[in-house]
Amino acid sequence: MAFKTFVPGATLTAAEVNTYLAKQSVIVCTSTTRPSSPPEGMTIYETDTDKLLTYTTATTGWQPPWNMPWGVMGQAVVSAEQTVASGGVDLTGASVTYTAVAGRRVRISAKALMSTGTSVAGWSLRVYKDGSLYDTVGFSNDVAAAASYGCVGATIDTPAAGSRTYKLNAFFSVNTDNKVALSGQNFSTIIIVEDIGPSGAPA
């Protein structure tokens, strides 16, 4: 329905209350008392969750305002040192699982302290998605001697709807005293998944 300007003396009908007023106001409710059969665009505020939600489609349902970033979907912070053999090794605890909504774009940010005890052909910090390599967010080639490197990187994804898991994986070309998050260095391993906005219209 369109916007209507009410003039003095006009009769306010039940139909107008149910459309122009009720369906175009922010409705205060709880997560268990949401309006039934809502039209697209209806907006509610849930007092038990403090969420402002808008009804999109029958598939996508109630969601935060679609054209806005939704913020952090999940994060993991690991302070424990981990020894890594040559090849790729998943970093213990550096994993985020969340329920993705179709049509959204996420940023996966990562931080780690990569250390090797000898010269190596290279190392890399990688992001795996649902068990498969998705992207590399940091690397170094031809490391001439034992050294430690602070690595900070990020990648972007537009995941399909459903449960999605992102995790960090460290790769070293040789197996000689390789470590991540050195003990006592105050350099935790971190992975953060953030919704940064829509990649398309609601499904």
Q: How far apart are CA 156 and CA 150, in angstroms?
A: 21
Number of H helices, E strands in the chain: 1, 14
Q: Are residues 29 and 99 in the same domain?
A: no
Task: Report pLDDT for 133.
Answer: 97
Q: How many domains does the chain have?
A: 2
Residue 98 belongs to a domain = yes
Is residue 155 within 8 Å of 105, Cβ to Cβ?
A: no
pLDDT of residue 182: 66
pLDDT at residue 126, rounded to an integer: 96
Do 45 and 77 belong to one domain? Answer: no
**Structure token pair of residue 22:** 């009720």
DSSP 39: P
162 shares a domain with 138: yes
Residues 51 and 85 in one domain: no
Residues 86 and 31 placed together within one structural domain of the fold = no
How many whole angstroms separate alpha carbon 110 and alpha carbon 61?
Answer: 31
Structure confidence at residue 146 (pLDDT): 72
Count the neighbouring beta carbons within 10 Å of the beta carbon of residue 30.
12
Considering the domain architecture, whether residues 48 and 134 belong to the same structural domain is answered as no
Q: Determine the structural domain holding residue 170 and report its residue range.
A: 71-198
- For residue 1, being part of any structural domain is answered with no
For position 25, what pLDDT does the model report? 83
Q: Tell me the whole-structure pTM to 2 decimals.
A: 0.83
Using CB atoms within 10 A of its CB, is residue 64 exposed (0-12), middle (13-18) or buried (19+)?
middle
Predicted pLDDT of residue 139: 85
Using a pLDDT cut of 90, give the percent of the chain over it: 57
Closest CA to 203 of 56, 79, 20, 49: 56
